[in-house]
Structures are given as structure tokens and as C-alpha cells.
Homo-oligomer: A and B are copies of this chain.
Amino acid sequence: MADCRSYSHGVEHSDDQQPLPEVLVLDRPAIFAFHEKKFEKKFHLLKAWESSLPMEEFLKNHARSVKAILCSFRTRIRADVLNLLPSVELIACESTGVENIDLVECRKRGIIVTNAASAFVEDVADMAIGLLLSVLMKIPAADRDVRFKLWPKNMTFPVGHFKLREKQIGVVGLGNIGLQVAKRLEAFDCSISYTSRKEKLSSYKYYPNIQELALHCKILIICCALTEQTHHIINRNIMEALGKDGIVINIGRGPLIDEKELVKCLVEGKIGGAGLDVFEEEPCVPKELFELDNVVLTPHRAGFTEQAFFDDFQLLVGNIESVFSTTKSLILPLPNSTLPSW
């Protein structure tokens, strides 16, 4: 029973010889690339993916008394998992998006869900602008040309799509990230409008209907949360409304766009370009996109800077510690567990 030993409770102790509190981790979070050891100094981590047991058996045998779960952005938690974890009080997500957590079920059971709050907000917004400028000016395509020594042969390298100045930009989802994206684009003398579940207090023009927004814009930047309502919010109609020069930037979640239709629209020239950090079936990326110079592809890394992970680490630790402490309180729960804003 090597497996049992390696997950026996209370083996690790803190410096003052108190056993470390147990935290369940179902799959490896991205933040472990930087802070795994520091988490291990604070908590006894039950790493489900290191066990040879099937998940259900592992949870039954080792996690029934677990009060806190640390989730990667991929960790899926539904009623079936929660049924095996009767003691859970907190689900702490490393990411901003919590679309893989069944928030309704958590609320029913009185389980608190927390996310990365503002830890990644500015860096994700920076990435949105980086992707937009990369698509507009074909920076990765130009960089490939130079590295493949095509410059001397190809002096008429294609120019940028169009001036960014004075362009109409549509922000889809004016939450924390959308607001930071809009603020940055104002400095490029762009005109900002947005759609969102409801009108926000802002000076930007609001379109309740995304089709209307797309008709008035050259560029759409997708910043909203993935929910049942926003799944495939960018479909063929929206892309056709955006038009053949139109550009779509997605730093939200892959399923916000109907990816098959996006690929068709790009291949058929129905839209002008796309900057995509997220995809419907990560890490799979439609191979048709690899041939296109008006597309920029990054592997779900928006906001991944050392400093953002450090902020996230502090937030996660603070939230998890609050479960085991009578003096510390939660840093920041999700404002409304059933309705993520977009």
C-alpha cells in the first residue's frame, strides 16, 4: 500500500510541529511551476494525479475530511466529485475563470469559491493589446520571415492591416479585464464600445446586442467569462457582421468562439485576422490556422508573468489559510457565485 503511505494524513508538520492542514489538488496547477515548494511548506498537499488509484477511490480513501481544494484552471468540479468530499468548505481556483466549477451546486452546499481576482487582470489586458498589435502588424509573421532569411528576397513584405488610430473597437464583456483593455486602447486614440449582460457605469457606448456591436466595429476583443449564455457568443453571424477587415482577439476562453466557423471565416477571408490565446479543445489547435499569417496563436498564456503568479500565490494561500484559522478571514470570495459578470 505504497499509495496509502504517501498520502497518509498528518505526516508533514509545520515548523512549530503542528501538522500541516490538508489541501486537495486534483490536477497540477500552472502556478506550481513557480510556487509548488512554497505551497508545500504551508499545506499538506494531496496530489490526486500522483496517486495510482482511480480518482473516485483516491477521493474516498484520502479526501473525505478535506476542507479545501486548490484548483488549476482545468480542474472540473461537479456534484459527482463534491459527493465524495463532504467536508469541503472552500474551492480556491488559481485562475480568473471558474467555468469548470459548478457554482450553483457549490452554493447549495455552502461551499465558498474563490478565483484569482485581480492577480492576472493587467497582464491579461496587456496580452490582449499585444495580440491585437501582433495581428495588425503581422509581427510573428514578420519575425518568421526574418528568421527564415526571407527579408532580402521579400522586400515587399505585406504591410499592416490598417491604422489603429480612430478605429472602432468592441469590448465583449466590460469586467475588470475589459476595462483595462479599453483604458489601454483609449491611449491609441481608438473609439471604444462594448456589450455586456447589462450596461455598466462607463463613458463607453453600450450595445445590448453583440450583433449591433460587431456591425459598428472593426475589432472585437473577447474578455467575458464563459457561461451557458456566452458559449459560442462569437458565431458566424457575428464574424460576418464584423466584416472582411475585422479582427477578433480572444483572451477569454476557447468556447466563447465557434471555432469551426472561425476557421472557415479566416480561410474564406470573411474576416481579416485573429489573435487567439485560447481554444475550444486545448491543447489542440485547428491545423488550418498554422498556414495563416493573419493569425497569431499563443498557448493559453495570457497574464502568465512571474509577478502575476506571485500575487495569485499570496491570494490562494490567504484564502486557504482562512479555512483553518479562527483569526484570518477570506481575502476575497467571488462576489456572486451563480452569476459571474461578463
Contacts and interface: CB of A to CB of B under 8 A. Distances in A.
A205 to B, nearest CB: 19
Contacts of A40: none
Interface string A285-306: 1000010000011110100111
A139 B144 contact: no
Interface in A196-252: none
A75 to B, nearest CB: 15
Contacts of A152: 283-284
Interface stretch (A81-89, A101-109, A168-176, A183-191): A183-191
A151 interface: yes
B186 A187 contact: yes
Interface stretch (A3-11, A129-137, A260-268): A129-137
A131 to B, nearest CB: 7
Interface in A107-159: 122-123, 126-127, 129-131, 133-134, 136-137, 139-140, 142-147, 151-152, 154-157, 159
A48 to B, nearest CB: 17
Tallying the copies of this chain within the complex gives: 2
B137 A140 contact: no
Given A134-B139, A297-B146, A123 B307 contact: no
B301 A137 contact: yes
A221 to B, nearest CB: 14
Contacts of A297: 142-143, 146-147
Nearest to A285: B146
B159 A298 contact: no
A307 B245 CA distance: 14
Contact of A160 (B151, B161, B285, B305): B305
Given A151-B285, A163-B308, A188-B184, A299 B142 contact: yes
Contact of A139 (B155, B165, B283, B296): B296
Contact of A159 (B131, B155, B165, B309): B309
Contacts of A123: 160, 163-164
Contacts of A145: 299
B146 A305 contact: no
A131 B131 CA distance: 11
Contacts of A137: 126-127, 130, 298, 301
Contacts of A156: 33
Given A130-B136, A136-B126, A283-B155, A162 B299 contact: no
B142 A298 contact: yes
Given A142-B297, A159-B306, 11 more contacts: A123-B164, A130-B130, A133-B133, A133-B134, A142-B301, A144-B144, A146-B299, A152-B284, A159-B309, A160-B306, A163-B305
27 contacts: A33-B159, A122-B164, A122-B189, A123-B164, A126-B133, A126-B137, A127-B133, A130-B133, A130-B139, A133-B134, A134-B134, A134-B140, A137-B301, A139-B139, A139-B140, A142-B297, A142-B298, A146-B299, A151-B283, A151-B285, A155-B283, A159-B306, A160-B301, A160-B306, A163-B305, A184-B184, A184-B187
